[in-house]
Structure 1
Amino acid sequence: MDTLTSRKPVEAVIAAMGSTTARRPDLIKRGLTDWDLQRAVAEGRVRRLARSVYGLPDAAAFDVLLATNQAQLGCFSRAEKMGLWVLNTPRIPHVAVIHGRPVPGCKVHRFKGRLTLWDVLRHCVQCGTEVEALCVVESALVKKKCTMSQLRRVFDKRRDAAMRRILDKVDPQSQSIAETCGRYFLREAGFNVQGQAAVRGMGHLDLLVEGILGVETDGEKHHNSALAWAEDLRRLNVLTIQDVPTLHIKASDAMYHPDAMVELVRNALRALENRRR
């Protein structure tokens, strides 16, 4: 088979890259030639959007914006696309560019090269609040995208002090972003908090506060089936038998209304202390 027929069509190569646009150097690296690109444009299979920028006929407007501005999705926007836990979706997309010039409708981070997971995590720590960064970093561990030893090794530079503070707060056993936020805000309020605390016969509590009060952070979509409802009842009964009083807090409160959650926990602990005197 000759090379002209064995090479993938330009449009197939672009689609395989996970976008609707691509830059010439990236296409050349994947075995295409300028002749391939010229022929694809002439036949209407791809469009030449700008110098060294090509796109599918139905290229998404945002992909075109990124390609024509030599930008790539970055920071929290990239983390969200990677499936990591993003507490607050950015109001406008965050992008990384080498040139530092403004990109219309985007927040620009200056960066040279192709973004790796480490770059995305570093940008999130630099750009967001501590809890926002914690959610992203912790989820990278939970989702097995990296290990703690890798994170410790990569972020050992002087400039990474903020990341190391985040790593000291990470719990790779966390089961959800709501649990991560709940643990963070309760610890910030001064409580002793254990994540994924084992209870005999039940499994694990999301959080155990001061060794006596359970906290479950309940999200609606994970508790709205017959099977989930039955499991919730079983867990509640075991907690009662084991004498582990437990608060059920909406996931949205743990994430976005921490003061209400902290006050509820404080009142529950006070009631338990009064009862045991």
Structure 2
Amino acid sequence: MNLIEFLQSRHGAARTTDLKRAGFTERSLSEATRSGAIERVQRGVYVTKGADPDVVAAFRANGRLTCISAARFYGFWTLHDPDILHLTCGNGLPNPAVVNHALALHPRHPYLPVVGVADVVMHALRCLPELESLVMVQSAIALALLTPDYLRSRLTGNRNGKARSILDLVLPRADSLLEVLAHTHFVRAGLRVRMHVQLPGVGEVDCLIDDCLVIELDGGTHLEGKQVKKDQYRNNASIRGGHLVLRYYYADVVHNPERMVSEVLAVLANREAGRFGPSRLQSK
């Protein structure tokens, strides 16, 4: 692997110490800098063209990415891209251009200027709005990188009460951020919710409310032709089995949850009132 390839493998930036540890000499770095192949952005940090701007910014600040700014490096779900950089710099100096988090206490990323998984999640739980931090911690748990019990053991005291309450919303299993968000909204509406329920003739459904209403949560792949047909047949099978069905998409769950919950409540109220029509036996 040559110098450029090595830098690209590290999102385009690396410290001199890491480069030398990989076998690159001062001479090779100087030659690459003179040729314009790489640039020394500050003492001890080299970058190549197309370097990740957040990684470069972390190096420049002598800090480490954390919270929502670090989520993508571990494959965590997020609801929004960060509009400001979240770092832990450890110098205590105010910087209006970044959110400067507390010191990192756990093993960091092996080569990027990114704090460790536990610090990323705990900083998010203390910093972000409830649902945004929930999807991050849920994905960390889904990836088997952390457990709720471990986080609770680290989030003690009154100041971490909000963080612990978010952990109470974590599901034993969630295959997408839509599932954990929908579950939270439905439970808070007072509904009886079961996730990943097996129905005869249908298979596993995402969500079953009050044992009568199937909720399916569809991502982008469900818009493909073959998948649409498969989903419609599943709807038919659910209805044949005596269950009503509603389907919701990313925009519904993330951007219009109140409308989604209102529709679910309306369907349940109509069912309770018998507005789907009397049975043929009753009409005789």
Letter in 1 for 2:228: W
CA drift at 1:248: 1.8
Is residue 249 from structure 1 mapped to residue 261 from structure 2 by the alignment? no
Give 1:87-236 correspondences, 5 Å limit. Answer: 87-102=79-94, 105-112=97-104, 114=108, 115-142=115-142, 144-146=143-145, 148=147, 151-157=148-154, 158-159=156-157, 161-219=161-219, 221-236=220-235
Extract unaligned runs of 5+ from structure 1: 1-7
1:162 Cα deviation after fit: 4.3
Taking the aligned partners of 1:167 and 1:122, their CA distance within structure 2 comes to 11
Q: C-alpha deviations, 1:139-197, integer Å up to 9, x for none?
A: 2233x24253xx42354132555444333322243222112111101111221211112
TM-score (norm 1): 0.82
| Equivalence for 1:272 | 271
Structure 2 residue identity aligned to 1:73 = L
> Structure 2: where are the runs of 5+ without partners?
109-114, 279-284
Determine the C-alpha separation between the residues in 2 that align with 1:110 and 1:29.
Answer: 29
Q: Distance in 2 between matches of 1:56 and 1:103?
A: 26
Normalised to the residue count of structure 2, the TM-score between the two structures is: 0.81
Matched residue of 2:71: which SS?
Answer: helix
Q: Which amino acid aligns with 1:153?
A: Y
Shift of 1:24: 2.8
- Say which of 14, 19, 44 aligns to 2:11: 19
For residue 19 of structure 1, give the secondary structure of its aligned residue in structure 2. coil
| Letter in structure 2 aligned against 1:88 | H
- CA separation of 1:29 and 1:99: change in aligned 2, threshold 3 A: farther
SS at match of 1:223: helix
Structure 2 letter corresponding to 1:24: T
Q: Per-residue deviation at 1:122?
A: 0.8
* Distance in 1 between residues matched to 2:226 and 2:63, nearest whole Å: 45
User: Hey, what's the Cα distance between the residues in 2 that align with 1:45 and 1:197?
Assistant: 55
Distance 1:146 1:59 in 2: 27
Judged with a 3 Å threshold, the aligned counterparts in structure 2 of structure 1 residues 140 and 245 are, in CA distance, closer, same or farther, namely same
Cα deviation code 1:240-265 (max 9, x no counterpart):
11101122223312222221112111
Identity %: 27
Partner AA of 1:231 in structure 2: K
Alpha-carbon shift at residue 45 of structure 1 (Å): 4.2
Per-residue CA deviations over 1:16-68 (Å, capped at 9, x if unaligned) read: 3x222222343345455555544544555432221222222554554433222
